[in-house]
Amino acid sequence: MKSRANWGNWGRSSGYDPGTGKLRVILYEYPFNERIRTYLRLEQLFERLFALMDRSDELDHHFALITLFEILSVSARAELKADVLKDLERQRQIMCNFRGNPDIAANLLENLVEQLGACITELNNAPNKLGRALEENDWLKSVRSRTSIPGGTCNFDLPAYYAWQHHSSDQRRSDLCGWVETLLPLSNAIKALLGLLRDSGSPQKIVAMGGQFQQNLPQGRTFQLLRLSLDPALGAIPEISANRLVASIRFVQQSVHDRVQPNTADIAFELTLCS
């Protein structure tokens, strides 16, 4: 079993200033297609799962298990493994084509090619239906069937699960690690693919005049992810829509007590289009 330390740093840039501890930017991401949308959902769920597993409280481990069930639901699509393998192989071929380029550090390139190869091997060795072993676990099935019911995991509904929650934190964490291990090839692959995708874009500084921005996208190039960095002190929230032809951003403002209202100020932000 791989230790948590070997699962890599799942957190993206936090946006916090290490000197002041204050939030420096908020990073929004918008996927251009359903495949990247699924990858982003899985990434967020794995981040949450690993964070909850690292804690000791039984309530944290309860929500870790619920997050694990969410991952199983998102990854249930039969074509997911094939899509991820196809993307990994495409990225490996792109990296291999850079060999011999004097502008690229050869050792870093080879490390990247090796990492992609390891992801491909891990995923190829995984069952065709990711998480199948977990879905066939009767104890997990009994817990999962009750989590969709509000309050459905009370001790009178699931005494065996209630007893598990009273195990030591080390024992619960060991059980969680065993269940998660079957999904590690998927988490590692998603991490590698999204990391390469984010690195493919070049940020540009933009001002949305009157809180509105629209950009025509160049023909012949397929973008997969839009990233938007914004100063939280501006109090602006971006509403993003995009397709292969155009990207549009409208800034609004809202508190938890008020309706959404247009933000008509000039909003400075950083935009990155990744392909």
Contact criterion met (CB below 8 Å) for 82 and 35: no
∠ CA(43), CA(45), CA(47), 5° rounding?
Answer: 70
CATH of 201-274, one of 2.60.440.10, 2.60.120.200, 1.10.357.10, 3.50.50.60: 2.60.440.10
* pLDDT reported for residue 18: 56
DSSP state of 16: B
Give the strand pairing for 267-274 and 261-262. Answer: unpaired
> Rounded to two decimals, what is the model's pTM?
0.90
Tens of pLDDT along the chain (275 residues)? 343 333 333 334 446 665 555 568 999 999 999 999 999 999 999 999 999 999 999 999 999 999 999 999 999 887 899 999 999 999 999 999 988 888 888 899 999 999 999 999 999 999 888 898 999 999 999 999 999 999 999 999 999 999 999 999 999 999 999 999 999 999 999 999 999 999 999 999 999 999 999 999 998 889 999 999 999 999 999 999 999 999 999 999 987 777 889 999 999 999 999 99
Distance CA 183, CA 32 (A): 25
* 71: its two tokens: 């991952």
Burial per residue of 122-140, b for 16 or more beta-carbon CB atoms within 10 angstroms, e otherwise: ebeebeeebbeebeeeeeb
- Sequence spans of domains, the chain: 34-198, 201-274
Q: Which CATH architecture describes the domain 34-198?
A: Orthogonal Bundle (1.10)
Distance CA 231, CA 42 (A): 26
The letter for the amino acid at 165 is Q
Question: 225 - beta bridge partners?
Answer: 31, 274
Q: Within 56-206, where are the H helices?
A: 58-74, 80-97, 106-125, 132-135, 138-147, 159-165, 169-181, 184-199
